[in-house]
Amino acid sequence: MRIENEIKLGFKDVMIRPKRSTLKSRKEVSLEREFSFIHSPYKWKGVPVMAANMDTTGTFEMAKELLKHQLITVIHKHYTIEEWAQFLQHIDASIYDHIAVSTGTGKKDTEKLQKLMTAFPDLKIICIDVANGYSEHFVNYVKAVRKLFPDKIIMGGNVVTGEMVEELLLAGADIVKVGIGPGSVCTTRVKTGVGYPQLSAIIECADAAHGLGGQIISDGGCKTPGDLAKAFGGGADFVMLGGMLAGHDESSGELIEKNGKRYKKFYGMSSETAMQKHMGGVAEYRASEGKTVEIAYRGAVEHTIRDILGGLRSACTYVGAARLKELTKRTTFIRVMEQENEVFNKEG
């Protein structure tokens, strides 16, 4: 046993210190970024915020909306090839830079991935996604997918430490997904005791990835637009959102009405709800590591997207970053014991 005494930080432990700036308005800020990759020859341009590949948020409906703002939707892995065909039939060509295909690491996953990529060769981005990216099996799987698709942009995860980021990049990932336990409907930290505060994970993993010319996605734990600013400030190249995009028209699931209020169901992808839905139950050897919640219905996602992007632009003006790319360089985090003043937050 060993103890690491250095304190690790989450979003709630810091604020960004304001800096002198020549920017007059948030309109002057560009959130667009352009990336080239360590393996894939493609270039990617857009606003580096993503919808998570949960079956509630990684939907085709979400993709149509997020495309309007140049964001990415990582489409969940439960659509059939026919559903993909229908979606791709009626949408413009720029969608291919703004959707990613998800896959797990099983044999059936590989077969489906191959079918999908053969049927729609313009699909460019693949997300290989497991709860625990530390296994040798996962590293080998990333290698195999890179061999199958030498040109595609491959994202893989999840991990939270620099040495594993390097290993996945060397195995063939272009972008490594970072986050174990911070998610809004994740119970990994409770069920297993395993995890890593998200901001420190970002800072350490970004350093490792950038050293090799790779990128990282901060996945999970953002509750507010300010948290996205902190994630980018810490060095994240992309930020992935689940809970912040849930509860909208574009999120899947029925509207539930209770006592005159409307809700939508949102659940972790390894929650009992998801496992019942997609696998017919929770396998005996595993605990469910996700929860199911009902969240207040929030209407169209457009409003939320504007709120998030507006917050990010504003953060950039506070530190004088004319482009999102400059935010990390201009960020000084201060450690704090308080965040928002919550005096008027309680309902009723």
| 188 interacts with ligand 5GP by CB under 6 A | yes
Q: CA 320 from chain center: how many Å?
A: 26
Cβ(123)–Cβ(117) below 8 Å: yes
Contacting residue, 133, 156, 172, 179, with ligand 5GP by CB under 6 A: 179
- Select 10 or 162, whichever has its Cβ closest to ligand 5GP: 10
Contacting residue, 133, 156, 234, 242, with ligand 5GP by CB under 6 A: 242
Whether 186 is catalytic is: yes
| 58 interacts with ligand 5GP by CB under 6 A | no
Contacting residue, 91, 131, 282, 322, with ligand 5GP by CB under 6 A: 131
Out of 127, 186, 205, 222, pick the active-site residue. 186
| 97 interacts with ligand 5GP by CB under 6 A | no
Cβ neighbours of residue 68 closer than 8 Å, sequence gap 6 or more? 302
Cβ(268)–Cβ(186) below 8 Å: yes
How far apart are CB 157 and ligand 5GP at their closest, in Å?
A: 8
Cβ(101)–Cβ(290) below 8 Å: no
DSSP string, 259-273: TTEEEEEEE-TTBHH
| 160 interacts with ligand 5GP by CB under 6 A | no
| The one segment of 6-14, 59-67, 184-192, 322-330 that binds ligand 5GP by CB under 6 A | 184-192
The candidate with the shortest Cα–Cα distance to 72, out of 183, 315, 308, 238, is 238
Contacting residue, 14, 47, 54, 231, with ligand 5GP by CB under 6 A: 54
| 186 interacts with ligand 5GP by CB under 6 A | yes
CA dihedral 178, 144, 278, 194 (to 10 degrees): -30
The secondary structure of 188-228, three-state, reads HHHHHCCCCCHHHHHHHHHHHHHHHCCEEEEECCCCCHHHH
Q: Which residues are part of the catalytic machinery?
A: 186
Q: Which residues bind ligand 5GP (CB under 6 A)?
A: 52, 54, 131, 158, 179, 183-186, 188, 219-222, 240-244, 268-271, 289-290
